[in-house]
Homo-oligomer: A and B are copies of this chain.
């Protein structure tokens, strides 16, 4: 009666969705200026206009987000939970309005108000909650799952400080904390009521419950996790899925004893410190190992997510029979792998299912992707640390391992070496838990991220496991979404493709891009294609000039290497190559100089704060640039630019403007690489080693359309074994000597860089690959001179990238867990 009347009244008041005609959009924006941003309609700047604009988009996201939640609640499909400690989302505005299909309406509405959409979009800061490839992959994955109508949910951490900002002072990298929330974040919805307590430390007790003994964990510390929901809209669908990020918050459940004022203040401040768990992203993919705070972060986000997942399941189910039919958990690397022990703990200790039943369920839930290539890269947690922070989880892992080793003995006999290798527990100076072993054991599928990577897993890293369970091992080559990397970041190319394919359907169905192949030789397309590249090069050149004052020639080849700075990624090889080029030019006469293909070499990327060698490489890049860029002999023939603070937004600017890009890791070190695919999409040619996904790219676009060089995966160890007996080319020694001798200054500082690559120390084989690298560069020069050939190659790159678009058909087929597609 009364309730119904009330409900009807509400219906009446809010019967429709928000309207998207220009007038409605303008009204909404101005409403947000006045009431959300709380500025006067007569004085607000571009940033405030952006905020208001973003809030009006948010309103529209919320509508779809709701509908999606309601739909899935009703349908109760199997949900895919994607657990990742890192999501590198970048900006959200353009992506959102494009996926909502209202980009043009907004642009119109704004221009009538005297604002430009592009300009406002530039006001947005990056959400940089991740380090690099792994994190950007998570972001692309979420967008693709939304577009393909999957009932997926992402879970992660809402770091208060994202990846540090890189500032260059005198050529040296400095780090600034990235307090990205300083100016508010309209893309998240704070769920003050969705909170879970997360426990740490303490002890495990035994209790009797109805005759049964059970374990009770009495924690020593409790921190509250609060949900922040980030709606992820799909393209051309109402499906808008949720990325739920957890923040640690002071919890008010606990009394504090404080017998004088000092104590009270101290007590509060201490509690606040405990709640700093979610405050900072570790800026390195390696060196967090064994750090307590990092382990706390992992468990914090895992525990909150598992509680949330089980709460959702129990909302509609009265027992756990259907749990594996309704829940799929994906572990993005081992960072979230404590989820295994956590689900086990909840099922056994809290839901009292009994160990065996719980174990049966566990074995059906998890799939696991590893991004690691070497045994040293595998995550290990010291037993002491785990036992103190999560005493019950350590017990559970021991119990799992005990059962596993017993079973193993039955299957493989008493091969103690192999048993020791496969055990989850590593004995040794520091007794540790091997998280990868735990993940492999408990997951029904273990994924590599490229074919090459997968082979390495099977043959080396996880050989023992592969022999035991060959069916578990799969691979899905990493990918990227064309919506983000073409439609959002390269609108001119987007329009051109649609024009030539005669449809926009490729934005959803990326396979259609193959259609470009048939036009690859069409000179009319060539003209337009080159124009598009030029537009993007102009934009990039302007950015470079604004940033560094350096004017670069648009006729030059824009040769880009942007990615995290790592020895294995060999930015140093690139720089030495540039020195070589410089040296050659210097030694040429004028006539020869005329024949040189002018280059603008662009390098960018962050070094982990504690990674001294990587920081030296950055400094070397600046020192070399200083020399070259100021040398009148060289002029426009060669320029070197370091672009600071490489992040998603910078990538969106740099990638469309690149002619050539370098992916030159020592073979066997890059699990997949995803940067390459984004360059490829944007018609940028690749100069690369046969590593990670490059092999597959090569197969797809053809060997003629890529500049390959260097040792192959199987050749690397032999080369390394030669040590100082390995002959390096003279030209290599010459450029290293230039650095050693202080030709670019900072002699002492660069000494260790030189030592690291000479005299048998050259682990990453810069010397061994140098000659073929220089040759590949020469081949690229040659191709560039023939603009017709170059343009055709460029078109074929874009046409071939369909294979690497995420969640395309090629990528789905082999993981049945990712196939619970739910169209609505």
Contact = CB atoms under 8 A, between A and B. Distances in A.
Nearest to A113: B6
A587 interface: no
A707 interface: no
A116 interface: no
Nearest to A67: B40
Contacts of A612: 259
A644 interface: no
Interface string A281-304: 011100110010100000000000
A487 to B, nearest CB: 27
B6 A30 contact: no
Contact of A14 (B41, B65, B608): B41
Contact of A13 (B27, B42, B177): B27
A542 interface: no
Interface residues of A, number: 85
B279 A268 contact: yes
A778 interface: no
B40 A14 contact: no
A614 B321 CA distance: 57
A265 interface: yes
Contacts of A279: 268-269, 272
Identical subunits present: 2
Interface string A485-528: 00000000000000000000000000000000000000000000
A26 B269 CA distance: 42
B10 A31 contact: no
Interface stretch (A183-191, A722-730, A769-777): A183-191
Contacts of A586: none
Contacts of A254: 176
A610 B268 contact: no
A90 B190 CA distance: 24
Interface in A124-178: 161, 164-165, 167, 169, 174-178
A455 interface: no
Interface in A377-421: none
25 contacts: A2-B114, A6-B112, A6-B114, A9-B112, A9-B113, A10-B30, A10-B42, A14-B41, A38-B229, A47-B193, A48-B193, A161-B250, A174-B255, A175-B255, A177-B271, A182-B249, A184-B190, A184-B192, A258-B610, A260-B610, A261-B282, A261-B287, A261-B608, A263-B609, A269-B279
Closest 9 CB pairs of A and B: A260-B610, A6-B114, A264-B609, A261-B610, A174-B255, A261-B287, A179-B250, A38-B189, A183-B192
Given A5-B114, A6-B114, A177-B271, 19 more contacts: A6-B113, A9-B113, A14-B30, A14-B34, A35-B59, A47-B193, A161-B250, A174-B256, A177-B256, A178-B252, A179-B250, A182-B249, A183-B193, A261-B284, A261-B287, A263-B610, A265-B293, A268-B280, A273-B273
